[in-house]
């Protein structure tokens, strides 16, 4: 729902995030502070420093194989309390797929030199519209 970079030091920084998860009619708000470390054009590592989850570690790797760019994501997380009922493997998989689809669309939009959608400029896009 919202992200803010804090404490940047070269390729390491902290991200303060607010998000939500849903399970049926139940909607749970989640807050977190994550440490992110970038290895440009190779890898992104993310580690939960504090927040509503018990733990969360993700690694995204970018590699070229046979002229094709391959992105792999490996992550482990542990939900607790109310978040355990809303944050399932299926939820994480679908959210991750949606986020990478949006990222792909943004890369292609920029490659085609198309302007950003008005909602992106106004920062009021809904899911699936930018």
* Sequence-ordered list of residues with C-beta below 8 angstroms from that of 30, at least 6 positions apart, any chain: 17, 18, 19, 20, 21, 51, 52, 53, 83
The tokens of 71 are what?
């992105």
pTM, two decimal places: 0.70
β-pairing, 68-78 vs 55-65, is: antiparallel
Query: How long, in residues, is the chain?
Result: 130
23-62: per-residue pLDDT in tens? Answer: 667 777 778 999 999 999 899 999 999 987 888 899 999 9
Confidence (pLDDT) at 48: 93
> What is the Cα–Cα distance from 98 to 104, expressed in whole angstroms?
10
Residue 129 has pLDDT above 50, yes or no: no
Cα dihedral across residues 83, 88, 91, 94: positive or negative: positive
93-122: per-residue pLDDT in tens? Answer: 887 788 888 888 888 989 999 988 887 767
């Amino acid at each position: 729902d919202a992200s803010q970079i804090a404490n940047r030091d070269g390729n390491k920084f902290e991200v303060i995030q607010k998000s939500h998860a849903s399970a049926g009619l139940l909607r749970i708000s989640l807050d977190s502070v994550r440490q992110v470390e970038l290895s440009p054009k190779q890898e992104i590592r993310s580690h939960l420093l504090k927040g509503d989850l018990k733990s969360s570690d993700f690694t995204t790797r970018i590699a070229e194989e046979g002229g094709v760019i391959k992105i792999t994501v490996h992550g482990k997380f542990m939900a607790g309390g109310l978040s355990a009922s809303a944050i399932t493997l299926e939820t994480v998989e679908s959210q991750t797929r949606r986020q990478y689809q949006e990222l792909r669309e943004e890369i292609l939009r920029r490659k085609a030199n198309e302007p950003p959608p008005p909602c992106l400029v106004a920062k009021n896009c809904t899911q699936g519209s930018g």
